[in-house]
Amino acid sequence: MGAPFELLRRDPSSRARRGVLHTRRGDIQTPVFMPVGTRGGVKGVAPRELEELGAGIILGNTYHLLLRPGAELVAEAGGLHRFIGWDHPILTDSGGFQVFSLANLRKIERDGVRFASHIDGTRFFLGPVESMRVQRLLDSDIVMAFDECTPYPATVAAVEKSLGFTHRWERMSREQPLNDGQLRFGIVQGSVYPELRRLSARAITALDFDGYAIGGVSVGESEPEMFTAVEAAEPLLPEDRPRYLMGVGTPRQIVENVARGVDMFDCVLPTRMGRHGSAYVGRGETLPVKAGRFAHDFSPLDPECGCYTCRNFSRAYLRHLCNVGEMLGACLLSIHNLHYYLTLAAKIRAALDAGTFEDFRRDFCRPR
């Protein structure tokens, strides 16, 4: 396999890019949205359905798969792809986000983090050596370096201390062995401070990863602060490597961050909103399907949508399923929402191919 990322074209009116990420299990057209399957499954959506939706890559999580079912068991099954029945690329997060999200259950040390399991309190250690080993056993196609997802808000001093850990751990992550063909991405941190974002970008790009992520966003900061963080780091990331904005975001945020030079996105919102009875429509608006006004509405969720849910079921039926707690309601709404996100990414790519991205962006992001 040659260079992992092929830059096809740049948008003349923004930082947006059109590209292809080559992996050992297939090419990924970018910009791309990646459904999240934290524990080895995208919630409520089967692999066959994901393929029908056009998903080319999904995510798993090192921390959660380490605890259950265990990396050795997954390796015994032949790797994560065979274990979950997914033949396409998989990206695994390193566990660095859990350093943030499980702050009350961990203690940061020089070479990693000592956790108490959120399941049963069992104590274990996860650092760059351990994280790379787990991801090697999982045999994912894209491996993320181990870092600390910096909390928000945080003082400059706290962020500088956090970057000290992140940069050390990513150097260690870079040194660990992987399987043939596995790609390894570094992660830029720095919270909402542009100069610290630039400092981190310089430190991480010096390690020559296969791709680069901007982490530590969508953790409570405002949308303008998110955009500022991306704008500070992105110009320092190599043009010949993919850029991945971790955990983002709303449809509008995806469009705006494509315009800022980002190629890859993931977010739990499509399935989370589906489980809570909401559907994405139009220019990113959410439809509260459980609302009483839909009780006698026999039209589809979105008349313009061609997904399985919209082709076959009415708002009234979906409202009924959600209000009586039938899991089918959450599954059908999740299918629709993932279709919305994956179609949005396809529309962005088509606009970039046609040279009309700025018009698309202006229309999609115009004030409601």
DSSP assigned state of 277: T
DSSP element (H, E) containing 259: none
Query: Cβ atoms within 10 A of the Cβ of 19, count?
Result: 25
Q: Strands 142-144 and 183-188: what pairing? A: parallel
Amino acid of residue 317:
Y
Q: Which whole-number Å values give the CA distances from 53 to 33, 159, 161, 307, 341, in the listed order?
A: 12, 39, 42, 8, 10
* 266 counts as catalytic: yes
Concatenating the DSSP letter of every residue in 93-110 gives E-SHHHHHHTGGGEEEET
Catalytic residue among 11, 93, 139, 147: 93
Q: Which whole-number Å values give the CA distances from 22 to 66, 88, 265, in the listed order?
A: 27, 12, 16
How far is 220 from 237, CA to CA, in rounded Å? Answer: 24
Residues in the chain, total: 368
How far is 53 from 344, CA to CA, in rounded Å? Answer: 12
Q: Would you call 334 exposed, middle or buried from its count of C-beta atoms within 10 A (0-12, 13-18, 19+)?
A: buried
How far is 12 from 355, CA to CA, in rounded Å? Answer: 8
How far is 167 from 92, CA to CA, in rounded Å? Answer: 19
Catalytic residue among 139, 147, 266, 302: 266
How far is 213 from 246, CA to CA, in rounded Å? Answer: 7
Query: CB–CB of 299/314 below 8 Å?
Result: yes
* Structure tokens, 290: 């459980």
Give catalytic residues, as residue numbers: 93, 266
